[in-house]
Structure 1
Amino acid sequence: MRFREDANAEEDLALGGYLDRVVIELAQNAADAAARAGVPGRVHFSFHEGTLVVSNTGTPLSAEGVESLATLRASAKRDDADASVGRFGVGFSAVLAVTDEPVILSRTGGVRFSRADSAAAVAEAGVGSPGLVDEVRRRDGQVPVLRLPFEADGEPPEGYDTAVILPLRDEAAAELVRRLLGEADDALLLALPGLERIEIDLDGAVRVLADAESRWYVRRAGGSFDENDRERLLADRPTEERWRPHWSVLWALPRDPLGEVPSVVHAPTPTDEPLSLPALLLATFPLDPSRRHVAAGPLTDRLVHEAATAYAELLRIRAEEDANVLPLVPVGLAAGGLDRALREAILAALPTTPLVRSVEDGSLLRPGDGVAIDGSDDAFNSVMAPLVPGLIASPRQDRTALDALGVRRLELADLVDQLGSVAETQSPEWWREIYGALSEMVTDALLRESLGTLPVPLADGRLVRGVRGLLLPGHELAADVLAVFGEYGVRVVHPDAVHGTLERLGALSTTPRALLEDSAVRVAVEHSGEADDPEVIANAVLTVVAADASQAEGLWWLSDLVLRDADGELVPANALVIPGSPAASVLDDEEVAPISTEIVDRFGIPALEAIGVLNSLGIVAASDVALDDLPEALADLDGIEDWAYDVAPGGSRFGATVGELAAIRDLDWVVDDAWPEVLELIGASPELRRALVETVRVVGPDDRPAGGPSYSAWWIREHLLLPDGEPLAGRADPDADPVLAAYLDEAPDWTARLDPEIRTAIGLVREVGDLEADGVAQILTRMADPAREITESALLRLWNHLGQLTVYAPDPPTEIRVLTGESARPTTAEQRDESVGGGASTAIVAAGEAVVADAPMWLQRTDLGGFVVARGVVADGLGDLLDLPMAQEVAEGKIDAPGTAADVPAIVRELVPRTPELWWEHEELTVDGVEVSWWVSEDGEPHAATFDGLAKALAWASGRWDQRHVILAILSDPPRASELLVDAAFDRGTDSTE
């Protein structure tokens, strides 16, 4: 059983906990030997041709050492625990991962171990022990290697006291050794303080590890547990560990910022416990039997606490050396259970450790006593330090660490509020320094919001909160002008406090435009008539405007500024005119007054026009006008709400908008006899002309656009009356169609001097499409006037125009002028051939006695009353306009007798394509009991009782009414067919081959 136990234990160690520890364990044994001898430890690893030789200085191999090697888990170093790091005799088993024949040579002798020799010895011993033989067989010949030592000859290399010689088992073992030697680094020296130098000769390439602490910042801590602690902390540890009551902790930080740090805990050799901290940790943590993991228990908990304390002390020391230790604060997720415990203990220790540096005096503060300003930078912190005790820097990359340390965070908005408590005692220059310190921070949109209530000193001595809308003094405006506006509440920043940061936070450069747009200036202007000295504010405003009149564009409320008129009275600018100007000659002098010539001479006409004093007619404009909520700029326009109702879709202003609107103001102040001059004045000015002739684009709530008259055109059409008291709108344009003009009133002669667009805009009618509803009603009434003569040709032309209207009279006419054939009604067939449909005249009939004829055959139906004649959409439009039925709506149009089918002459079909092949001959053709000469049925069948009627029926049925005379000629004189065919070859738009 002991054989089996030793074999299993040795195999577990070689294949488990010590599989890849051969280099570390041999270096550890070398360190222990040097420590016991009290000499500087040196170890030399040499790997050549499949053999690893490890030579070291220190206490040579002793009998107790050999016994320890041959006795698993029983170290010979129990009595010198203070000087040893590992457990000699256990760690040495790591060599079995790579060799079956380890040899140890020392100045005092040598010993070797051999799997083959041990197997032979076991076989010899098994002669009298059948059970041992069976066990070896069951283990496939595998026996413990380190239980039977054999004598070895030889000495270690010169300068060394002991050498371990390891003939490697195979190439896999050789690859493992190469990897482990290549991975050896400073962590090995730091873990083994007894070694001062490690030399590694790997296939001829020599590498030396020495002076590790020159490359690391190191913090060590250690001690011994007292009797009470030993009982409490080591009670669950193995017996021999309880005889080792010493502990140690080492933290190391690379001096090179780019240096790599092992990512596992060392106890003190590497374990499989992950470590997320950017430092190397070596501590005497208790390990589980696998030697891979730290064992849980009170001893580990105590060492976690000691490690956290040592880490905090290391960071304090580094902070005193002026290093930024915040990147070393554990944040984020833990990598494992031990790592989590370490991080939590460290975060409990750091808030009371001086780590963060005061901005004011550079001293180290405990994080719990520190204050960080959100989003601040170095420049701002240096200015704020005297005002914020404990202020520390808080770079963006370190904010998570500061939060983990419990540093109090001061929101920038809260700091801005606190500034108010010291604001009154600070100079404008101090504030400029504050604004300069904020210059980089205002690029962050969130921080910019936090500065919304920043205090700002003004030129008039006041201190206000909030930058947006303040004016920054410049060189464009005189100080005395700014002083005037300051008295009226205009907020101008003190010149000594001005900084570019204020502009980025919403302050405005004091241009004439910015000053005029200031709300305080507007209030002063609108109440200037109530001021103790109105001329002071008037002079200040005009001084600003005179510098650049264009700066006042769109500021319609400037027209409320009161100025002196020629009689010295105070009058709003919008009720003043320039003496001798066109405006003075056309506007009612009871509504406007001439401005003082002294003001004109001082500030100039452009400045006065810019604030609303009239030289010519004035214009007001607005954008994005909601018709149900008209802007103030348009409020003084006469009848503006009535116009809005008229142009709004469906007459409802709700939800309707106009994108751009320009209107001529004061049209209601024009004197009656000045309109010819006013309209010529409008035509001569591009701006006034556009405000009159350009239609507005109205968008309804359904987003559908529609056009409408400009306000100016609408007002003139609604209000301009001629001396006879009748409106100008609706009269005949000088260029109107004579037929149309005959039914309209004449316009005054002076309208001929206006350009056509102006005439159309003010309501003169040049064509039927210019008519409005009342004008259409007037035309229809006058057409039905018996006293007026109208030819058939003129009537047909009017019908063609009227049928295309989209504007209808308020009520349909009760009497209508129509075409009628009563006066030339034929009585015989011969007469019908010559006359039907061609002898119509005009007559006036009641609306109920007329129909719309949209086909020529209906004109034969004199039984239907009078005819309004048109085709297609025009016929439909006339029906709607006059409220008349179509002829086919009052008569069935049914042919009474079938007639006799006959072939249509081939020459007709050749000359007029699409002519039907058959027609129906009638001795007497009647439709609905009324005799007619021809007819075309609903099915397109031509019927006729005469040659003339047949020609018309065939032309209508083929859709070529214009060819009826040609068809009649062929039917009447067949020999002419050849001549007509030749002529048809030259008809425009006709293909003679069809």
Structure 2
Amino acid sequence: MHVSDTADPFGTAALRDGLVAAWRSSPTRLREDVATEADLVRTGYRDRVLTELAQNAADAASRAGIPGTLRVWRVGTCLHIANTGAPLDETGVQALTALRASSKTGGVGRFGVGFTAVLAISDEVEVRSRTGSIRFSAAQTRNVLDEHGLAVPDGSVPTLRLAWPSTTPPSVGNDTEVVLDVRFGIDAETLLDDFRREAIDLLLELPALQTIVIDEDEFVRAERVLESGLRELRIGDHCWWEHRGPSARWLVPVLGGVVRPVGDDVLRAPTRSDEELSLPVLVVADVPMQPDRRRMLPGAPVEHLVQGYADFVAALPSDQRLALVPTPGFARSEVDGRIREALFEELRRNRWLPAADGGDDLAPDRAAALTGLDDALAEALDEVVPGLISPTLCSPRHAATLASVDVHRIGLARVADLLAGHSREPAWWHRLYEALTPLVVDAVTAEELAALPVPLSDGRTVTGPRTTVLHDLGSVALPWVRLVHPDAAHPLLTRLGAGSVTAEDLLGDPALAAAIDDVHHDPDDQAAEDLAAVVLTLVAKVPAAAVPRELGMLLLPDTGGELVPADELLLPGAPLAEVLVEDSPFGTVDTDLVEKYGADALRAIGVGWGFTVLRAELPTGPDHDLPDEDTWWQTVGTDPETLVAVRDLDLVDETRWDRALALLAVEPDTAATLTDRDGYTAWWLRNYAVLGDQPLGHLRYVDDVAFEGLLDPCTHPDAGAFRTCLAGTGIDDAHLAEILLDRLADPGRRPDPAAVVAAHTALARSYAAGTVDLDSVILPAGVRSLAGAVVDATDALVPDLPWFASVIPADRLVVVDHAAAAALAELLDIAAASAVIAGEPTGPGRATTWRREPDAVLASVTSGLPLPGQPLVVHEQLTVRCTGAITGDREVPWWIDASGTVHSTRLGLLDALAGLSRNS
């Protein structure tokens, strides 16, 4: 049945007649059409109803040159999909009824085989357009086949091959409307939900569409061009940045101004295909696709799609650019692999990496990344490390990404190498060290910086912190040590092996002593001045006791400009100068040095004010340039742990010792040396210092009465400070022994008996100890008796046994501790009593025992002495008859006869008990 052209504007009747005739002439053709339509519905265009209709809508809008709008709504069982744009035309109708061809000459979805997707949900389809409408019906097509005796074995029909005209126009405001009567069993609301989920993707994929409305939900794409040149797309709360290359559109989601890489997606050609991609962006491109638009045609080129991708990356904020570099990994498809490889190549050969210095972008093959780089370090390394990329891209998490585009990664060792030879201010190096500190996290990274340059205080820059030392001494230049410049000093250098020194360490450095020695042997005014300036600056920072004595060799100018060792100079107005001999070797230091560095610093290195004290740890012999040191050393039993001695005592004028001793007493350091009687200083002063016409060692302290009447008292007001330098209760040398012997024999002296006994005891003990020998003294003819008389030595007697003392007359008796009696007799060449006197009791007594005598027991109790076991004879009166040097009868308190028996009066028992105890 035919209708007029007005009722059938697209000539559908002729199309139906021609097709039915073809089927009748070739039943195989009918079966092919049925199979083709079924294949397209089941495979190629499954789940693509909205996509295919949206592509047609986009094509219509594009041809009309307007922003396209697509609306979808449901009325009963029917879905309505309407759009604006170019209406349906005869060519379009022909394309709709031709399963194997499309009338498309441009755009992305002009009616063609994709329309078959509607059969997935409907068997009754109507296309309404303002130029005319048509409809497709499975039921009506089956009736036509039945009329002509045509059929296929399973009863299927090619629904979209036969079209009928319709008089229903599209809804108001739309140019074309497709109405689908949804097949029973399909939930239309579920379809609408699926369409809502697809709407955003379709608006991204089809630029000709601007709005999609599904029921009451409206999706609108808004666009604006950013300053970066990228295009910002917004659909509701969703945002993308888009770059349009020569062959493709690239889009990346953005949230809060930060790109969110995609990762897993599919190629959009222009709508979603089945070609899986693993790129960080959405790719929309017009590429050769198979008829169902799910797969690319085999061998179709895709490499050209990446052209301009580097421009897209470069347009992003610098800290986000690596997000658009594909993550290293396996490709998800052959197409994905080919695009990825092309994309990596595109990135490798173009400039897009932000430079650390903010200059032009860098190509990867000219770029370098330093892990951990921050802004401070980047600024410090500017002009030192070429091609550094922005610190925002240098974190460890970006390492794999940078490697995938062949960015050269450098380490700290390379940085250290590149820094070699650069001349910078010390403060610049400090900033560099501060910036490098966060990167030095372990021993491995520290080792990488082993060759890091370090500026020194003397202006040099050396390689490697391990050869340098740090200090907090201010700006000083030390030519004998690699001292880090204070403006460059940083804790990082310590972590890298630099040592730490104090002023005390530097002053004790053997290298300083060597430097002083070099200048000393090859004097140079400027070199000496520079070295002195450094040393005196350091000396001012340490206690004087910590200054090594070797610094006394430091050359300083005297008042005449001549270079002289410091320890041969005195400060202006030094009191020491007033006590020295006229030809002493000391000069006076230049007054300018005193004004510049202060008297304390100069005194610390040996410039004199008063006497100088020498200190030496663990001395081993007389090698300290002290006068008569070797003689003193012979008096030392064991080496002292520390030698502390006053220097230059031999330079004192002997007429000025009164003032010299006062000077020694007033200075704490020198006064301390006077307290050690066995020390060098006290020894030297006892033997060589003179007050009046007597050595100090021949004078006694005024309160010391041991040798009173024999030695003169020292009347110096400071005698208490140098008491150890005076005579004591013993005899230190043969000179004192001879003095005492002479004065004991001097009738003009009036020592009391106690002083005489003390002198004789000291002489005897000194002789016994070997301090005095017979060859070292000249014995006088007379000796002093207990009675105070000077008697001829041939008449004097020494009671070597205590009981003999009571039979010797006082004017012949030379008393001494009985233990020293023999030594005294030998020294004075006088007789020992027991050798020249014999005596026996003359009268009988009462034989008894010590334990039986009350008086003996009382004597033991009161004296604390034990009772002896010797025989005891008690006499009312005891008389001894003497022969030999003493003759006649002598009344005595107690006696011991030749047999060893003790004879005693009752009153003499205590004396006997004491005498026996001393003699035991």
TM-score calculated relative to the size of structure 1:
0.48
Tell me the C-alpha RMSD between the 2 structures: 4.6
State the 1:593 CA deviation: 8.1
Matched, 1:438 2:436: yes
Structure 1 residues 152 and 545: CA distance shift in structure 2, 3 A: same
Of the three residues 457, 460, 466, the one matched with 1:459 is 457
Alignment of 1:465-504 (within 5 A): 465-468=463-466, 470-474=468-472, 486-487=478-479, 489-504=480-495
Tell me the equivalent position of 1:219. Answer: 243
SS in structure 1 of the partner of residue 161 of structure 2: coil
State the 1:344 CA deviation: 0.8
Mapped to 2, the partners of 1:207 and 1:478 lie a distance apart of 72
Structure 1 residues 372 and 157: CA distance shift in structure 2, 3 A: same
Mapped to 2, the partners of 1:50 and 1:511 lie a distance apart of 96
Structure 1 residues 586 and 188: CA distance shift in structure 2, 3 A: farther
Of the three residues 293, 296, 303, the one matched with 2:295 is 293
Matched, 1:588 2:611: no
Higher Cα radius of gyration = 2
One-letter amino acid matched to 1:363? D
State the 1:432 CA deviation: 2.2
Tell me the equivalent position of 1:61. Answer: 88
Question: Does the aligned pair in 2 maintain the 1:356–1:367 contact within 8 Å?
Answer: yes
Give CA deviations for 1:97-153 in whole Å, capped at 9, x if unaligned. Answer: 111212111122222222222223323322xx5xx3xx33xx2x3322112223333
Tell me the equivalent position of 1:124. Answer: 147
State the 1:163 CA deviation: 0.5
Give CA deviations for 1:916-937 in whole Å, capped at 9, x if unaligned. Answer: xxxxxxxxxxxxxxxxxxxxxx
Tell me the equivalent position of 1:646. Answer: none
Mapped to 2, the partners of 1:527 and 1:509 lie a distance apart of 21
Mapped to 1, the partners of 2:505 and 2:77 lie a distance apart of 89
Mapped to 2, the partners of 1:163 and 1:454 lie a distance apart of 77
One-letter amino acid matched to 2:201? A
Question: Does the aligned pair in 1 maintain the 2:367–2:388 contact within 8 Å?
Answer: yes
Question: Any stretches of 5+ residues in structure 1 without a counterpart?
Answer: 223-247, 550-561, 609-613, 616-722, 724-994
State the 1:509 CA deviation: 4.7
Mapped to 2, the partners of 1:306 and 1:264 lie a distance apart of 17
Mapped to 1, the partners of 2:50 and 2:668 lie a distance apart of 99
Question: Does the aligned pair in 1 maintain the 2:248–2:306 contact within 8 Å?
Answer: no
State the 1:419 CA deviation: 1.7
One-letter amino acid matched to 1:345? A
Mapped to 2, the partners of 1:371 and 1:6 lie a distance apart of 63
Question: Does the aligned pair in 1 maintain the 2:362–2:387 contact within 8 Å?
Answer: yes
Matched, 1:74 2:101: yes
Structure 1 residues 188 and 465: CA distance shift in structure 2, 3 A: same
Deviates more, 1:392-401 or 1:160-169: 392-401
Tell me the equivalent position of 2:837. Answer: none
Structure 1 residues 356 and 221: CA distance shift in structure 2, 3 A: closer
Tell me the equivalent position of 1:795. Answer: none
Mapped to 2, the partners of 1:437 and 1:548 lie a distance apart of 41
Tell me the equivalent position of 1:264. Answer: 266
Matched, 1:178 2:192: yes
Question: Does the aligned pair in 2 maintain the 1:274–1:336 contact within 8 Å?
Answer: yes
Question: Does the aligned pair in 2 maintain the 1:98–1:174 contact within 8 Å?
Answer: no
Of the three residues 586, 597, 606, the one matched with 2:646 is 597
Tell me the equivalent position of 2:68. Answer: 41
Mapped to 2, the partners of 1:442 and 1:398 lie a distance apart of 19
Of the three residues 619, 640, 646, the one matched with 1:575 is 619
Question: Does the aligned pair in 2 maintain the 1:50–1:167 contact within 8 Å?
Answer: yes
State the 1:542 CA deviation: 9.4
Mapped to 2, the partners of 1:521 and 1:540 lie a distance apart of 15
Give CA deviations for 1:794-853 in whole Å, capped at 9, x if unaligned. Answer: xxxxxxxxxxxxxxxxxxxxxxxxxxxxxxxxxxxxxxxxxxxxxxxxxxxxxxxxxxxx
Tell me the equivalent position of 1:278. Answer: 280
State the 1:211 CA deviation: 4.0
Alignment of 1:798-947 (within 5 A): none
State the 1:21 CA deviation: 0.9
Matched, 1:330 2:326: yes
State the 1:165 CA deviation: 0.9
One-letter amino acid matched to 1:252? L
Matched, 1:91 2:114: yes
SS in structure 1 of the partner of residue 148 of structure 2: helix
Tell me the equivalent position of 1:420. Answer: 420
Mapped to 2, the partners of 1:514 and 1:48 lie a distance apart of 98
Question: Does the aligned pair in 2 maintain the 1:576–1:595 contact within 8 Å?
Answer: no
Give CA deviations for 1:64-92 in whole Å, capped at 9, x if unaligned. Answer: 32222122022123xxx13x213522111
SS in structure 2 of the partner of residue 85 of structure 1: coil
Mapped to 1, the partners of 2:497 and 2:668 lie a distance apart of 32
State the 1:430 CA deviation: 2.5
Mapped to 2, the partners of 1:217 and 1:346 lie a distance apart of 18
Question: Does the aligned pair in 2 maintain the 1:354–1:367 contact within 8 Å?
Answer: yes
Question: Does the aligned pair in 2 maintain the 1:198–1:210 contact within 8 Å?
Answer: no
Structure 1 residues 330 and 584: CA distance shift in structure 2, 3 A: farther
Mapped to 1, the partners of 2:386 and 2:668 lie a distance apart of 58
SS in structure 1 of the partner of residue 618 of structure 2: helix
Of the three residues 361, 367, 370, the one matched with 1:370 is 367
Tell me the equivalent position of 2:408. Answer: 408
One-letter amino acid matched to 2:459? G
SS in structure 2 of the partner of residue 315 of structure 1: helix
Mapped to 2, the partners of 1:86 and 1:532 lie a distance apart of 101
Give CA deviations for 1:2-36 in whole Å, capped at 9, x if unaligned. Answer: 22211111111111121111111101011112223
State the 1:251 CA deviation: 1.7
Structure 1 residues 585 and 179: CA distance shift in structure 2, 3 A: farther
Alignment of 1:136-155 (within 5 A): 136=153, 139=154, 141-155=155-169
Of the three residues 19, 23, 28, the one matched with 2:55 is 28
Mapped to 1, the partners of 2:91 and 2:495 lie a distance apart of 83
Give CA deviations for 1:487-541 in whole Å, capped at 9, x if unaligned. Answer: 4x4332111222343344344554468769xxx9367689999995999999999
Mapped to 2, the partners of 1:29 and 1:405 lie a distance apart of 41
Mapped to 1, the partners of 2:49 and 2:413 lie a distance apart of 62
Question: Does the aligned pair in 1 maintain the 2:59–2:110 contact within 8 Å?
Answer: no
Mapped to 1, the partners of 2:298 and 2:668 lie a distance apart of 94
State the 1:154 CA deviation: 1.5
State the 1:603 CA deviation: 10
Question: Does the aligned pair in 2 maintain the 1:563–1:572 contact within 8 Å?
Answer: no
Alignment of 1:153-172 (within 5 A): 153-172=167-186
Alignment of 1:540-555 (within 5 A): 546=543
Mapped to 2, the partners of 1:586 and 1:528 lie a distance apart of 35
Tell me the equivalent position of 1:521. Answer: 509
Mapped to 1, the partners of 2:218 and 2:379 lie a distance apart of 53
Mapped to 2, the partners of 1:593 and 1:32 lie a distance apart of 107
- Percent identical: 36
Question: Does the aligned pair in 2 maintain the 1:107–1:162 contact within 8 Å?
Answer: yes
Structure 1 residues 493 and 170: CA distance shift in structure 2, 3 A: farther
Mapped to 2, the partners of 1:604 and 1:178 lie a distance apart of 106
Give CA deviations for 1:368-394 in whole Å, capped at 9, x if unaligned. Answer: 233334543221122222233433224
Mapped to 1, the partners of 2:538 and 2:66 lie a distance apart of 97
SS in structure 1 of the partner of residue 346 of structure 2: helix
Matched, 1:450 2:474: no
One-letter amino acid matched to 1:189? L
Question: Does the aligned pair in 1 maintain the 2:252–2:261 contact within 8 Å?
Answer: no
One-letter amino acid matched to 1:409? R
Structure 1 residues 584 and 160: CA distance shift in structure 2, 3 A: farther
Structure 1 residues 361 and 147: CA distance shift in structure 2, 3 A: closer
State the 1:63 CA deviation: 2.9
TM-score calculated relative to the size of structure 2:
0.52
Question: Does the aligned pair in 2 maintain the 1:472–1:510 contact within 8 Å?
Answer: yes
Mapped to 2, the partners of 1:530 and 1:380 lie a distance apart of 43
SS in structure 1 of the partner of residue 437 of structure 2: coil
Matched, 1:103 2:102: no
Question: Does the aligned pair in 2 maintain the 1:42–1:197 contact within 8 Å?
Answer: yes
Question: Does the aligned pair in 1 maintain the 2:503–2:539 contact within 8 Å?
Answer: no
Deviates more, 1:174-183 or 1:345-354: 174-183
Matched, 1:358 2:407: no
One-letter amino acid matched to 1:159? G
Higher helix share: 1
State the 1:466 CA deviation: 1.8
Alignment of 1:589-738 (within 5 A): 594-597=643-646
Question: Does the aligned pair in 2 maintain the 1:456–1:465 contact within 8 Å?
Answer: yes
